[in-house]
Amino acid sequence: MPEQHPLQNQFFESYEEFSDSVFKHCYFRVSDRDVALDLMQDTFAKTWAYVQKGNDVEDVKAFLFRVANNLIIDFYRKKKSVSLDRLVDNEEDSYEPSENGHMQMIAEAEVGQVMKALQSVEEPYRQAVTLRYVDGLSPKEISEIVGESPNNVSVRINRGLQKLHTVLGEHE
């Protein structure tokens, strides 16, 4: 057996703690479960590569979200257009059913609606709204991740929410 890296246990503890929130963030940003899984895996793989080289990570959560954000930006740079209708309408495995079939349908409809609305919000507002409301981060925490001032972040959140509100209102 190869010798285990001293930080390996700590790394997997972080994985247990943050994998779900990193995945959720990626999912709401890219609207594709498989891509989100890949991005989540790459986020942790890159984080591991970083710490393995002897670099320190002070705030693991913030670091993970920073890496995830960079990967998402890369993804959009490379990405060709993706049919949102296909993603939202045909993605039958996208949600873990939490209750019975009827409740699941309602939940899926809600998720689909929010994701469609989020798609219509432009970056960087979409990023700010996702970090704030999907990931539950404070404007200060977001500012550390995106490298902007907390004030700028608050403005972005507000504008994003405004746009989202308008789009969701149209669906009602």
* Residue at token pair 């591991």: 48
**Any contact of residue 155 with another protein (CB under 8 A)?**
no
Please state the closest distance from residue 19 (CB atom) to another protein, in A. Answer: 6
Binding mask 114-143 for another protein (x = CB under 8 A): xx-------------x---xx---------
Q: Pick between residue 147 and residue 170 the one whose CB is nearest to another protein.
A: 170
- Token pair belonging to 155: 């403005």
* Candidate ranges 9-17, 57-65, 119-127, 145-153; the one touching another protein (CB under 8 A): 9-17
Helices (H), 79-146: 84-90, 101-119, 125-129, 139-146
156 SS3 class: helix
**Any contact of residue 151 with another protein (CB under 8 A)?**
no
Contact 51, 11 (CB under 8 A): yes
* Candidate ranges 23-31, 53-61, 64-72, 143-151; the one touching another protein (CB under 8 A): 23-31
- Token pair belonging to 2: 């190869």
Q: Pick between residue 147 and residue 171 the one whose CB is nearest to another protein.
A: 171
Half-sphere exposure of 119 (CA within 13 A, CB side): 17
**Any contact of residue 50 with another protein (CB under 8 A)?**
no
Task: Please report the sign of the dihedral spanned by the C-alpha atoms of residue 25, residue 26, residue 28, residue 32.
Answer: negative
Please state the closest distance from residue 62 (CB atom) to another protein, in A. Answer: 19
Cα-Cα-Cα-Cα torsion 27, 70, 151, 14, nearest 10 degrees, comes to 70
CA–CA gap between residue 35 and residue 30 (Å, rounded): 7
Residue numbers at the binding site for another protein (CB under 8 A): 1-2, 5, 8, 11-12, 15-16, 19-20, 23-24, 27-28, 34, 37-38, 40-41, 44-45, 48, 92-96, 98, 100-101, 107-108, 110-111, 113-115, 129, 133-134, 161-162, 164-165, 168
